[in-house]
Structures are given as C-alpha cells and as structure tokens.
Amino acid sequence: MSESRWAPVNPFVPDGRILVIGASSGIGLAAAAMAYRAGASVVGVARGEANLARSFAAIGGPDTARLLPIAADVRDPAGLESIFTRAGTVDHVLLTAGFAATGPTRTTPWSALAPAYTDRLATAYAVAQRAAPALAPGGSLVFTSGGFAVRPAADTSVVAAGLAALETFVRGLALELAPRNRVNAIRPGRIDTPMLRGALARSAAGPVDDDSVSAAGRSIPLGRVGKADEAAHAALFLMANTYITGVTLGVDGGKSLL
C-alpha cells in the first residue's frame, strides 16, 4: 500500500505549547496534566504560587523541562501581560479561571452579582485580545462556560447571563479570528472539583464528603457528577480537531437534556 494520507497525529489530544489559565486545580489542572502526558509543553497559570508549584510537581515529577508555572492573576492587566510575555508563542490557550456568584435578584445588590457577569466576559475579552497575536497559525482559544448558560437554576440569573454572553462572544470571535485561528468553549455540568465541593458545602452549610458528591450526581442522566479529566478531555479535543470553531461543547452527563 502506498503511504497513507492519514496524518500520524493524535486526533484527541493536541501537541505543541499549551497555555492553561487556571492550572493548579480542577479542570485546568486535569487539562495541563493530560496535555503534558501526551507530549505537549504546558504553561500553567494560577494566583496561588505554592499550590501551582505543588500541582505542577505532581504532573511532571523531576522532568519539568516541558512545564512552566506562572503565578499571576489573569484579571489584573499587569498579570495578564506577564503571562503572555513569559509564555511567548503558544499553540492553544485554555481559560478555566472564572468567577461565579449567586443570589436572588429581588434581594441581592447588583454589586454582589455583577462580577459573575462582567468578569467572565471581560476576562475572556482581555485574554482573547492578548492571546490573538501570540497564537501560532492553526492554534486555538478554548473558554469555559457552564451548564447554567442553558439551564439556569433559581438564584443564578446573573451568572447564567454571563455564561450565555461568553458563548455568544465565542461565536463572534471565531469569525473574527478565522481562518488563522479557532475559538471554542466547553460547557461543564457538575464536575467534581474543589469549586463544586465548595458550592455544595455552601448550599449544605456544612462539610462535603464523597457521599454528598455522589448524591449531587443522582439526578443527572448518567447518574453521577463528572470527573475533571472528562471536562479537560473535551477542551483538549476542541484544540486538537482542526475543523471545529465557534462551538460550545457540553460535558454534563446529559444534564442539559432535562
């Protein structure tokens, strides 16, 4: 048989240099680890330096040549600048860092909820603006939405609106950056991360254990909450597939079907 036209690439995991903003925990950490294990070089960002160092040591062990941790706040303009200056040219950027706040519209002051709308969009906007010139041809941006964008719950009106706005932003930006680069998002449902456990603890007003996490997954069609790896894999798939742009991919065990 003559040489195959099928390129010897992994269709599910990207290679090259990947910048993960939100890399010390949850979905971002899982994405950083998965990309690293697949051979990519990973730049990871979080505010907490010690936690990020611990997380990256766990990913890479003694071989840290392909791992660059950067302690910075992506919401701070100087922090954003330092991230991209140190990262240099990157093939893909994943933004998982995000701010959420909930409360009833009738009684919560706008100032308490506004960041859940404005910061989600403003951070994505700032990252896109700074990332666009740093992206290699064929590279992509992946943002993080959330299930409330399509299935809000009571008291989530503002954070839901922010997530929906982000998804619309992704579609518009995808047109702007095409054909050189692609723009997509993941839309996690309930994923077992420190963020989810924190939210469950707040609503239960008490400590959360594995049983409470299992209980939180019972009403989901697949019968459980998702793993950080499962959400991370969706993000890496969107980077790796070279013909998907402007898409928000749900990773929610079927929750949005209900």
Q: Which residue is nearest to ligand NAP (CB)?
A: 26
Binding site for ligand NAP (CB under 6 A): 21-28, 45-48, 51, 73-75, 96-98, 100, 144, 146-147, 188, 190-191, 193-196
Return the residue matching tokens 């960002």: 45
The amino acid occupying position 76 is: D
Q: How many CB atoms lie within 10 A of CB 37?
A: 12
Length of the chain: 258
> With respect to ligand NAP, which residue has the nearer C-beta, 138 or 155?
155
Closest separation in Å from C-beta 221 to ligand NAP: 16
Task: Return the residue matching tokens 């925990």.
Answer: 25
Residues ≥6 apart with Cβ < 8 Å to 131: 19, 84, 90, 93, 141
What is d(CA 140, CA 241) in angstroms, rounded to the nearest whole number? 10
Beta 67-71 vs 182-188: how paired, if at all? unpaired
Nearer to ligand NAP, 14 or 28 (CB): 28
- How far CA 226 is from CA of 14, 20, 97, 251, 254, in Å, comes to 22, 20, 18, 8, 11
Question: Between 139 and 226, whose beta carbon lies closer to ligand NAP?
Answer: 226
Check residue 7 and report its DSSP letter: -
**First-to-last CA distance in the chain?**
49
Closest contact distance (angstroms) between CB of 135 and ligand NAP is: 19
CB of 145 vs ligand NAP, minimal distance in Å: 7
- Min CB(7)–ligand NAP separation in Å: 31
* Two tokens, residue 230: 């499962």
Of 226 and 242, nearer to ligand NAP (C-beta) is 226
Least separation, in Å, of the C-beta of 123 and ligand NAP?
7
74 vs 174 by CB, closer to ligand NAP = 74
Prior bond to 179 cis, omega within 30? yes
Tell the smallest beta-carbon distance from residue 6 to ligand NAP (Å).
34
Nearer CB in complex with ligand NAP: 3/210: 210
